[in-house]
């Protein structure tokens, strides 16, 4: 589904076929943002991806494409996991068509995936030469018994710049995320395992902007996994920044023990994140957030 300045609220159902593609107002001179949801997510007028789409179009002129794979992302997880690879192949085919037909540059493509959608972006990037950027939003680990295979898992080699935000960890029971570093730069707000907002009695959001109450440990884990969508949204729209520091681990960050001690390396997490030269892949950055929206501490 394509949204642009001309069609902000009513999508054009864009497909990699000349007749259908040309009916849509795709502008090859604008950057293209692919938004890809995850496991058992739904799409609706008030879903979180439409929310991010609105903020993106308020910020600038983009082609915003929401990839709908809701027919293939449901139980059982093993099937959805396999389908994610196929969906990634289809997204890559669409990207190739867009490059050949509309003369768009793959360097202007930015694939933003949440949970299992992060790995869809990875598969698409693996098959698309010179893809500009992939942002993985708490890439899904989901099953303790089905570890992510390297040929499906998001990797730093899948785009010119791969940045990843980690907010939960399936293996420690705090959500559905995969804590290992995957990108060129991996960001760990509040250590990447538990988020300060996600406490019992607080309100949180899953697929839609409707608020739910955190009542159980399952709710806490879901909050940890989905709050990354809010972090990313506020990194686009708010007048403060998520400033992170390169460090070995969260404890060292908290104790101001990040080398070089006299001038630690900092970077921005979220929409405005930029690849830094001279850093090895899988560089880890840590930061703390506020408990409540807009969550970010750093000023412009």
Determine which one of 158, 225, 235, 283 is catalytic: 225
225 carries an active-site annotation: yes
Closest CA to 23 of 9, 45, 2, 50: 2
CA–CA distance, 32 with 62 (Å, rounded to integer): 6
> Phi first, then psi: what are they for 72, rounded to 5°?
-125, 5
How far, in Å, CA of 235 to CA of 55, rounded? 10
Catalytic option among 47, 110, 138, 158: 138
Let me know if 61 is a catalytic residue: no
Cα–Cα distance measured from residue 89 to residue 237, given in angstroms and rounded to the nearest whole number: 31
- Catalytic site residue from 47, 115, 273, 283: 115
The yes-or-no answer on residue 47 being catalytic is no
Catalytic residues, by residue number, are 115, 138, 225
């Amino acid at each position: 589904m394509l949204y642009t300045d001309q069609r902000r609220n009513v999508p054009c159902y864009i497909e990699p076929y000349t007749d259908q593609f040309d009916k849509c107002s795709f502008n090859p001179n604008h950057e293209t943002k692919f938004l890809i949801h995850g496991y058992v997510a739904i799409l609706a007028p008030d879903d979180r991806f439409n929310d991010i789409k609105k903020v993106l179009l308020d910020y600038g002129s983009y082609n915003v494409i929401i990839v709908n794979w809701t027919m293939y992302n449901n139980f059982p997880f093993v099937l959805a996991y396999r389908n994610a690879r196929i969906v990634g192949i289809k997204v890559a085919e669409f990207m190739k068509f867009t490059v050949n037909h509309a003369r768009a540059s793959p360097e202007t493509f930015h694939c933003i995936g949440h949970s299992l959608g992060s790995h869809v972006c990875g598969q698409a990037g693996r098959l698309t030469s010179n893809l500009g950027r992939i942002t993985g939003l708490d890439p899904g680990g989901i099953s303790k018994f089905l570890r992510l295979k390297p040929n499906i898992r998001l990797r730093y080699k899948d785009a010119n710049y791969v940045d990843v935000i980690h907010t939960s960890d399936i293996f420690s029971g705090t959500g559905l995320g995969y804590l290992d570093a995957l990108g060129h730069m991996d960001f760990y707000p509040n250590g990447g395992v538990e988020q300060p907002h996600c406490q019992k009695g607080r309100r949180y959001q899953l697929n839609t902007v409707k608020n739910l109450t955190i009542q159980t440990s399952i709710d806490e884990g879901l909050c940890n996994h989905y709050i990354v969508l809010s972090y990313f949204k506020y990194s686009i729209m708010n007048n403060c920044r998520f400033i992170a520091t390169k460090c070995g681990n969260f404890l060292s960050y908290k104790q101001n023990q990040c080398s070089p001690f006299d001038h630690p390396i900092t970077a921005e997490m979220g929409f405005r994140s930029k690849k830094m030269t001279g850093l090895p892949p899988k560089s880890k950055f840590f930061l703390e957030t506020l408990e409540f929206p807009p969550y970010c501490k750093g000023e412009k």
